[in-house]
Chain A
Amino acid sequence: MTNHVLAGTAQSQLKSRFWHKAARFSLYAILGIFALFYIMPLFVMVITSLKSLDEIHQGGLLSLPENITFEPWKVAWSSACAGVSCVGLKGYFLNSMVMVVPAVFISTLIGAINGYALMHWKFKGSEIIFALLLFGCFIPFQIVLLPMAILLGKIKLSGSFSGLIMVHAVYGIPFTTMFFRNYYMTIPTELVKAAKIDGAGFFRIFYSIFLPLSPPIIVVTIIWEFTNIWNDFLFGISFSEPGTQPITVALNNIVNSTTGVKEYNVDMAAAIIAALPTLLVYIVAGKYFIRGLSAGSVKG
């Protein structure tokens, strides 16, 4: 009797273990399929960019390159044609850098100061200002195009790097402010009080106490802003001139202006080059990104 019961339990244990394993297996299988699904386009891009045009026309989309060639990359970088000018992405890559770096820096700095002020130096109406700023996160790019164009014209910044930098920085401020404010919410206001009694002022407290606590959220903000501004196309095409066009605009022009045969390998290489910096930012700072997003309390 007892034996039977015991055997029964063992059997049911075995059974449940089997189902547990089966569930695990299916889970990993599904995740694996999704991963494949997401990596597939990148895979196709990379192999296509390493093939010659002939090979592309002969072989299948997924077949590996037989003779690896870096020629398409060279062309994409320095001699691909966009319309009549055949100078590759090189110059536009630099344009994007010139635009992105200051825009990210400015929006991050202003966001940090805003977040700090709105959280720890509350004044009459500070909550309303924050709410209005948050509203800025939901304004689509298209809405501001026309007014922004007029404004840029009025302040004589149309088509210039400074104009683009300003547009991106301003557009980033709602997001950066929100990031920093929410992060600074976890820092006790008593720290500010203590520093005030110690004689420190608004900016002294900011850079001596708050900034040293901020690396995680700074990384999050930089990734967010860098990705957004680097990948932006609409502002780039609307507010630039031929000399100040960012890489996204150049990529579009290269891909769209083919004479005769479409050079898929060059297009793919160009697309990867255009995406590389954001990819790098994620790889380098990715773990801080997760850490920053989940950063809860500051242990004092």
Chain B
Amino acid sequence: MNNTQQNETNEMADNKILVIKNLDKNFGSTQVLKNIDITIDEGDFLVLVGPSGCGKSTLLNCIAGLEEITSGEIIIDNLDMTSVAPKDRNIAMVFQSYALYPTMNVEKNITFGMKVRGESVQAQQAALKNVSDVLQIGDLLKRKPAQLSGGQRQRVAMGRALVRNPRLFLFDEPLSNLDAKLRVEMRAEIKKLHQKLQTSIVYVTHDQTEAMNLATKLAVMKGGVLQQLGAPQEIYDKPNSIFVAGFIGSPAMNLIKGVAFKNQDELFFRTQLNGETIQISIDHYESEQKIVEGQDITLGIRPEYITGMKPVDIEEKMIISVMLNPVLIETNGFDKHVNLEFGDGEIGGRFTPQEQIIYGQPVLTYMDFSNISLFDSQTEKRL
């Protein structure tokens, strides 16, 4: 057991499928990507996520070689690909609009690349057969793209990528043109395909749910800068800035402003709520930076820690209970997301369907502070 694990780690260490080093990209005088450093291992599913205009698609185009980079290095499968043409990078790409060639039927769409590269007809047919089996598009081969539904086009676009058998797959928001139901289905299919074929993928999306669901490694970007890189759960649990905290997770993490306060060597977070002072012990918090008394800090707490039932197995001092006024009730069926009036703002909590919550009637709310994030209010960085 131990042995295999070690082997695996060794193998992974040798197989850095994609290394991006100090990548900068300027369009004229505007810097769209700043000093990006990302490394992924073979078999990783890297998702680049961020609000629109954060540079995630540009970064993907840079990896593909469709955009030249201003400085830095791109290494794919241990080969320096920084200034290599897209076709020689051993990659395949799926586009948001699918970019199927409109005048060619599905078969020709899939084999176009092989034909251009001069591969034999037998090889083309074999690869086509293989791919159409995997994606179950065998009966669509003679159709033109215009005769396909959104989901079928999506499949064909993936087929065109798969047939290449590349070292790295690039997906540029491939699901955003599909309706909600189909999006969830295709998302699952991509995930299954990834598990089955053990391919390495770089995937761009603006949808943080999609990002969380798919990624084995998540890169959160904003304004051309990589904000955080890590496993989805790690980023969810320990966002390294207020931006990431607000962006990842839906509904978003609640952010409460206050100050650090020391009492007999114990560290507290203190904030005002409707004229009352609330004090929460944050001694248990494993901070990466030293928190000093009087420092302005922002406390982040996920909605799932704000509930209507007293949490069990949690130290008493970690919990406070308050009566809060509901201002928005959203029913999901399996739970209710409720926005509660909290000082000048609102906080979101999760309640069970059984709990009766009515507009205008304050609810007894338990806030469990055992699992929180703390940020410096000035720098907006994690403490």
| Nearest CB in chain A to that of B112: its residue | A198
A209 near B103: Cβ-Cβ < 8 Å: yes
Q: Total number of A-B contacts with CB less than 8 angstroms?
A: 68
Does A195 count as interface, using CB distance less than 8 angstroms?
yes
Interface segment among A26-34, A72-80, A156-164, A186-194: the answer is A186-194
Chain A residues touching B, majority SS: helix
The reply to whether B87 and A198 contact each other, CB–CB distance below 8 Å, is yes
Query: For residue B100, which residues in chain A have a CB less than 8 angstroms away from its CB?
Result: 194, 300
Query: Is A150 an interface residue, CB under 8 A from the partner?
Result: no
Size range of the interface on A?
10 to 19
The CA-CA distance from A149 to B164 in the complex, in Å, is: 56
Complex Cα–Cα for A196 and B164 (A): 13
- Taking the closest CB of chain A, its distance from the CB of B106, in whole angstroms, is 13
Q: Are the C-beta atoms of A197 and B87 separated by less than 8 Å?
A: yes
Q: Are B93 and A197 within 8 A (Cβ)?
A: yes
Inter-chain contacts of B113 with A (CB < 8 A): 197-199
Do B116 and A190 touch across chains, with their CB atoms under 8 A apart?
no
Bound together, the chains give a CA A300 to CA B61 distance in angstroms of 21
- Give chain B interface residues in 272-296, CB to chain A under 8 Å: none
Minimum Cβ distance to chain B for residue A75 (Å): 50
- Asked if B117 CB lies within 8 Å of chain A CBs, one says yes
Tell yes or no: A41 within 8 A of B by CB.
no
How many Å lie between the Cα of A66 and that of B183 in the bound state?
Answer: 76
Q: Is B370 an interface residue (CB 8 A)?
A: no
> Which residue on A lies nearest to B117, using beta carbons?
A199
Q: A198-212 vs B: 1/0 string, CB under 8 Å?
A: 111000100011001
Q: Which of A266-300 contact B (CB under 8 A)?
A: 298-300
Counting chain B residues whose Cβ lies within 8 A of the other chain, the interface size class is 20 to 34
B residues in contact with A208, CB < 8 Å: 101, 112
Asked if B92 is an interface residue, CB under 8 A from chain A, the answer is: yes
- Bitwise, B47-71 to A at CB < 8 A (1) or not (0) is 0000000000000010010100000
**Is there an interface contact between B116 and A300, defined as CB atoms closer than 8 Å?**
no
Distance between A209 CB and nearest chain B CB, rounded to angstroms: 5
Q: Is the CB of B103 within 8 A of A212?
A: yes
Q: A213 at the A/B interface (Cβ < 8 Å)? A: yes
Q: How far is the CA of A191 from the CA of B96 in the complex (A)?
A: 11
User: Could you tell me if B112 and A193 are in contact, using CB atoms closer than 8 angstroms?
Assistant: no
Interface string of B249-272 (1 = CB under 8 A from A): 000000000000000000000000
Does B95 have its Cβ within 8 Å of any Cβ on chain A?
A: yes
Question: Of residues 87 to 122 in B, which have CB atoms within 8 Å of A's CB atoms?
Answer: 87, 91-93, 95-103, 112-113, 116-117
- Give CA–CA (A188, B87) in the complex, Å: 19
B99–A190 CB distance below 8 A: yes
Give the distance in Å from the alpha carbon of A299 to the alpha carbon of B101 in the complex. Answer: 10
> Nearest CB to that of A299 among chain B residues?
B146
- CB neighbours (8 Å) of A196 from chain B are 66, 85-87
Q: Known contacts being A196-B66, A198-B87, A299-B146, is A190 close to B112, with CB within 8 Å? A: no
Contact between B92 and A197, CB atoms less than 8 A apart:
yes
Q: Which of B85, B86, B97, B160 contacts A300 (CB 8 A)?
A: B97
Alpha-carbon distance A199/B153, docked complex (angstroms): 21
Give Cα A300–Cα B164 distance, bound, in whole angstroms: 22
* Distance to closest chain B CB from A119 (angstroms): 16
**Chain A residues, CB < 8 A from B300:** none
A188 touches B97 (CB 8 A): yes
B25-80: which have CB < 8 Å to A? Answer: 61, 64, 66
Is B348 an interface residue when CB atoms closer than 8 A count as contact?
Answer: no
Check A199/B145 contact, CB under 8 A, given A190-B99, A300-B102.
no
Most buried by B among A194, A208, A300: A194
**Is the pair B102, A298 in contact by a Cβ cutoff of 8 Å?**
yes
Q: A194–B95 contact, CB under 8 A?
A: yes
Task: List B contacts of A193 (CB < 8 A).
Answer: 61, 64, 66, 86, 93, 95, 99
Nearest chain B CB to A220 CB, angstrom units: 18
CB atoms of A197 and B91 under 8 A apart: yes
Measured CA separation A195–B64 after assembly (Å): 12
Since A193-B99, A195-B112, A300-B146 are in contact, a sample of 14 more A-B pairs with Cβ atoms closer than 8 Å, ordered by chain A residue number, is A193-B61, A193-B64, A193-B66, A194-B93, A195-B101, A196-B66, A197-B93, A198-B112, A208-B101, A209-B103, A298-B102, A300-B97, A300-B98, A300-B99
Which 8 pairs between the two chains have the least Cβ-Cβ distance? A198-B113, A199-B87, A212-B103, A190-B99, A194-B99, A199-B116, A190-B95, A197-B86
B interface list, Cβ under 8 A from A: 61, 64, 66, 85-87, 91-93, 95-103, 112-113, 116-117, 145-146, 153, 160, 164
Interface, chain A (partner B; CB < 8 A): 188, 190-191, 193-200, 204, 208-209, 212-213, 298-300
Cβ contacts A to B, 6 pairs, < 8 Å: A193-B64, A193-B66, A193-B86, A194-B101, A300-B97, A300-B153
